[in-house]
């Protein structure tokens, strides 16, 4: 993906299939991710066919078929516990035509789903969406590693470049009562992903919903918005304007 990435479609090409031992967990995570990425098809596959705790082959197969209903659709599959992985692998082994267009990722179920959904909403392809899910696993790992967490590659490239060379930088006060929490963070990340310019918010990747949330920027806190390269000033102005505008949360 590059600065010439196409604008997000009404429904993103990459879909998510969420496989959990519990129907409630799969549906709940879909519900949460859907709020942050309304343009992504999220298909839950939770519990056994008779409503119990576990994972079911047909449920997973049906969910994959539902996710891949368009000829050009692809799917990232997230799982919770061990036997959910085995069930997905069994389905993919038995159904090669589904396996061709699917990617089973090793990622934390909730954080991975949110990160992948927002990236998919931004128009990321299968590789980029899968990577954003897997990267989510390194973000909430050992306590204290946050300061050294690498800026992930995303649909708009690495935010590391933003500090170097010709660039633009502005500070802005966060007006939202709850700060840059989940939903406004998702709105911001989607917007940044659509700009096609690498933007950082307080040094973290502005296109990553998880990194923005992890800043813990509360109401009244000041954050620094940086960008570099062509369109940097316009991008920074747009992001500052969006934050000042409350990101739909005021």
Q: Interface residues for other proteins in 158-177 (CB under 8 A)?
A: none
89 binds other proteins (CB under 8 A): yes
52 binds other proteins (CB under 8 A): yes
44 binds other proteins (CB under 8 A): no
3 binds other proteins (CB under 8 A): no
Residue 84 or 191: the one with the smaller Cβ distance to other proteins is: 84
Q: Is 21 a catalytic residue?
A: yes
- End-to-end CA distance of the chain: give it in Å, rounded: 33
CB 56 to other proteins: min, Å: 6
**What is the per-residue burial (b if ≥16 Cβ within 10 Å, else e) of 115-141?**
bbbbbbbbbbbbebbbbbbbbbebbee
140 binds other proteins (CB under 8 A): no
According to CB under 8 A, which one of 72, 93, 97, 147 is a site residue for other proteins? Answer: 93
CB 95 to other proteins: min, Å: 11
Residue 83 or 171: the one with the smaller Cβ distance to other proteins is: 83
- The Cα–Cα gap between 223 and 171 comes to 6
Beta strands in the chain (DSSP E): 14-20, 42-46, 74-79, 102-104, 167-173, 199-201, 204-205, 222-228
Residue 55 or 132: the one with the smaller Cβ distance to other proteins is: 55
Tell which residue, 39, 120, 141, 35, has the closest CA to residue 77. Answer: 120
The DSSP code for 164 is S
Class of residue 71 by CB neighbours under 10 A (exposed 0-12, middle 13-18, buried 19+): exposed
Neighbouring-strand partners of residue 39: none
CB 57 to other proteins: min, Å: 4
Q: Interface residues for other proteins in 186-215 (CB under 8 A)?
A: none
58 binds other proteins (CB under 8 A): yes
- The Cα–Cα gap between 150 and 213 comes to 15
Residue 84 or 188: the one with the smaller Cβ distance to other proteins is: 84
Q: Interface residues for other proteins in 66-85 (CB under 8 A)?
A: 82-83
Q: Which residues are catalytic?
A: 21
| Binding-site ranges for other proteins (CB under 8 A) | 21, 48-49, 52-58, 82-83, 86-87, 89-91, 93-94
């Amino acid at each position: 993906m590059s600065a010439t990435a196409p604008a997000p479609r009404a429904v993103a090409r990459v879909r998510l299939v969420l496989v959990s031992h519990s129907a409630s967990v799969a549906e709940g995570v879909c519900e949460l991710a859907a709020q942050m990425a309304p343009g992504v098809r999220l298909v839950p596959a939770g519990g056994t066919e008779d409503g119990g705790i576990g994972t079911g082959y047909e449920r997973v197969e049906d969910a994959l078929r539902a996710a891949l209903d368009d000829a050009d659709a692809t799917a990232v599959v997230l799982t919770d516990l061990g036997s959910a992985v085995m069930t997905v692998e069994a389905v993919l082994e038995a159904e090669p035509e589904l396996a061709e267009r699917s990617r089973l990722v090793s990622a934390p179920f909730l954080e991975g789903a949110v990160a992948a959904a927002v990236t998919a909403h931004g128009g990321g392809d299968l590789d980029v969406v899968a990577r954003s899910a897997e990267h989510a696993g390194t973000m909430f790992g050992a306590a204290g590693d946050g300061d050294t967490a690498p800026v992930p590659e995303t649909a708009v490239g690495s935010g590391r470049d933003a500090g170097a060379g010709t660039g633009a930088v502005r500070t802005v006060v966060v007006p939202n009562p709850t700060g840059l929490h989940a939903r406004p963070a998702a709105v911001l990340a989607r917007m940044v992903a659509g700009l096609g310019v690498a933007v950082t918010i307080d040094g973290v990747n502005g296109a990553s919903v998880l990194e923005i949330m992890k800043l813990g920027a509360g109401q009244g806190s000041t954050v620094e918005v940086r960008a570099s390269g062509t369109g940097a000033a316009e991008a920074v102005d747009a992001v500052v304007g969006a934050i000042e505008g409350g990101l739909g949360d005021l």
